Structure formats: structure tokens, C-alpha cells
Amino acid sequence: MKTCLVVDDSKVIRKVARHILETLDFEVREAGDGREALDSCLDTPPDVILLDWNMPVMSGMDFLRALKDSGLPTRPKVVFCTTENGMAYIRAAIEAGADEYVMKPFDRETLESKLQIVGVA
Amino acid sequence: MPPPQSTASAMNMIAALLEQRSGQQIAANRAWRIETALKPILRERGLANLDELVAQLVAARSGELGDQVVDALLNQETSFFRDAAVLDAVGDAVQEMRHQVSDRRLRIWSAGCSTGQEPLSLAMLFAERGMGDGLCAPEIVATDLSPAALARARSGKFSQFEIQRGLPVRRMMTWFDSQGGDWVAKHDLVRRVQFRQHNLTADPAPPGKFDIILCRNVLLYFSPAMRRTVFDVLSSAIRPGGLLVLGAGETVIGQTEHFTPSERFRGFYRAAIPSLHTSRAAAAG
């Protein structure tokens, strides 16, 4: 079973994402900000991370940079999942190393499709 | 008081209209779709149920309302790079054919293209594989019965939900621009596809012969007899030895003699090549 870490400061979004991911046979872990997510990754790296952009303590972009510098032998796939839907944000995320990008709001088909594209579903 | 429910008779008449115009059948267990799909038309015309709609259809002098009803009932389900491995295999087949045919452009027909995601996916794929321009670039003809779907396809405009289904973000960045909440294909992409209205069950095939025909997830809505008719149309449009690509749950086996499973491309079907004997007999006759 593949593991997905859902990183979002909204409990509601985490709950919705968890529900969809569990129906797609993922084991789901949650983090409320980038710092929590980084600790979770360093402890046990997931297969894929669903990452919000704007969060307290550590943003999605800061988390992505920290993950790159963390020296993890295998970097999990990173799928940004955010309301920042402009091309400039998308380009910045991809240039910073994100593998895919989901624009909120999302549904099951969107999430499944993006997870297939990064090769984890 | 709630409006009276639509009768089975009205649903049957509307299902018959759909089959007559498009060949598509609605299975009995999906009859609920008729009312759901037609709700916007009922609302717009202030009609209480399908029986009142049928009354208007019978009284209507022009076919405009019928067109609207059929359009709303057609299944337009599609997505970018649907069954991506199949489209990759189409790319491989085109590259192989290019080695044998270098004096003309290959021709591809996307039959039943709905809102255009399939032919646009092919255009992206070919361009990315160095087959985007000149003789190398296959000519892509995309057809659908629905004028509304074709208008959307030609506009290249997709909602946020549509653009995210199957389309990798890097391709989206390359080929689309953001416009308000929508995403619009660049002219350089849309220009690579010729969109045309075509009824697979009633019209002759588009002119010229095609090297590859994609007709995916279309035949499953047709009766066996209608499928045979459509296979005849597809057969008349394909070059001998050309490839037919169907949807995952569709097959030619037991339904037509015009195509046989391809040995080279799994899941594709090869158009029959007339034998020398048959060709001579035909020429003599």
C-alpha cells in the first residue's frame, strides 16, 4: 500500500483528501504545516506528498526547499495542491522541484489522474 | 404540489429520438439519465416533465429542439491523454509508418472526438516527438455529431476540472494559457486539428483515406447492427493495412471481417489488405 502525506492547514481539506485517497487505497498521514511535514518525512518518507502552498510556520515552498536539502536518499513525489492557480505560481512550483500541480477545488478524478501521472496510483 | 412525474412512454420516445439521430442507445438501467440530462431544457422552457417536452417536440416545426435534446443526451465523457499508454502506442505506430511513407503526410481520424481532448492530446504528442511540422506532422481530422461539443473543441477552452484530468502540468504550461478561471489552448495547438461535424451512423466517411482511425468509447453505445454499419464506414475510410484503435472494452472480434487484431500493436486492429487475387478479380469485374 502506498503512503500519501497530506500537508494542509485546513482540517476540512485534509479530511476530504484523506477520504478520496483512502478510496484509492493509500495509507494517509497528515501534517498541518511544512515543519510538521518535514519531521514526518525525515521520520518515514511517504511515497507522495500532497502539499498546500500557504500555511503557518513553514509554507509549501519553504518545505519543498527544505526537503531538497534534507538529504533523503529517495525524495517522495510532490504534488502541490493549492488555491494559487495562476501560471506564475505553477511555474515557480515546478521550477522549485514539484512533480505535479493540483488547483483547488479538486475532485476524485483530478486527484487520481495527477497521482497516476506521477506514477504512484 | 410537485409536478407530475414523466411517464415511461415519454422517456422511450426521447430514447428513440436519440437512437434515430445518433445511433446511441440508453440502457434501461440508465433511463434516469434522460431526465437528469434534460433538466436544463425543461427549466429553460418552463416544462414540468418529459411528457410536456415530447408534446413540444411533436409540435415543433423545425428540428432545432430535437437537436438540442439529442445534444444534451450525448455522452461527452472524455479527458486529455485518456489511457495514456494507448496514445503513446499511437505515437509509436506513427513513427513506424513514417519510415515507410515519406512522400506525404500521414492522416489520422479521431472519430467521436467530443470536446476535443483526444485530438489535441495527439497533436501535443506528435509535436513533442518531433512530428509537429511539415511532412512529418500527421494531418489530424477530428469529428463529432454534436455541434456544441465541436464549438467547444474549436474554442480550445477548458474548465479547471477538465484541464486537470489527464494533462500533466508541464504540458499544460507549454500548450495552454490561463484566462479567467479557464484554460485556453494556444493557437499553435488548435491549428493542428481540423474539427468537422460528422454522424458516424448516417454520413459517409470524411474524404480521403486515413492511416490510423481512433474511435474509442463510441461503439459501446450502439446496437450490434449499428456497430456493423459503423465498421463499414470506418473500413471505407482506412487505407489497407491501416490501424483502428478502439476503447478498452470494445473489439472487432465477431463483429466485422474488415479488421483483425494487430500483431505489432496490442489492442489495435489492422485493416484488411485485399489479396492480389481479390484485387484482380475486382479490377476485372
For chain B, which residues make up each domain, given as ranges? 8-73, 84-277
Q: In this model, does residue A59 exceed pLDDT 90? A: yes
Chain B CB within 8 Å of residue A110 CB? yes
Please tell us whether the domain made up of B8-73 is placed in CATH 3.30.450: no
What contacts B29, CB < 8 A, 6 or more positions away?
Answer: none
CB contact under 8 A, B169 and A101: yes
DSSP for residue B87: H
Mean pLDDT of chain A: 95
CB contact under 8 A, A91 and B165: no
Question: Taking CB atoms and an 8 Å cutoff, what residues of chain A touch B168?
Answer: 100, 117
Give residue B278's pLDDT.
55
DSSP string, B109-154: EEES-TTSHHHHHHHHHHHHTT-SSGGGSPEEEEEES-HHHHHHHH
Give residue A8's pLDDT.
97
Centroid of chain to Cα B235: 16
Q: Look at phi and psi of residue B202 and say left if phi exceeds 0, alpha if psi is from -120 to 50, else beta.
A: alpha
Q: In this model, does residue A33 exceed pLDDT 70? A: yes
Q: How far apart are CA B81 and CA B162, in angstroms?
A: 12
Which among A91, A109, A114 has the least Cβ separation from residue B173? A91
Give residue B8's pLDDT.
86
CB atoms within 10 A of CB B134: 7
Please tell us whether the domain made up of A3-117 is placed in CATH 1.10.220.150: no
- In this prediction the ipTM stands at 0.93
pTM of the model: 0.90
CB pairs under 8 A between A and B: 35
Question: Taking CB atoms and an 8 Å cutoff, what residues of chain B touch A91?
Answer: 173
Q: Give the 3-state secondary structure of residue B202.
A: coil
CB contact under 8 A, A102 and B164: yes
Q: How many CA atoms lie within 13 A of B18 on its CB side?
A: 25
Over chain B (285 residues), the average pLDDT of each successive run of 10 is: 79 91 86 89 93 91 85 90 96 95 95 97 97 93 96 96 96 96 96 97 95 96 93 97 95 94 94 70 50
Nearest CA in chain B to A109: B165
Q: Give A 88-107 residues with CB within 8 A of chain B.
A: 90-91, 94, 100-103, 106-107
Cell of B89: 502506442
Task: Enter the CATH code of domain B84-277.
Answer: 3.40.50.150
Question: Taking CB atoms and an 8 Å cutoff, what residues of chain A touch B181?
Answer: 85
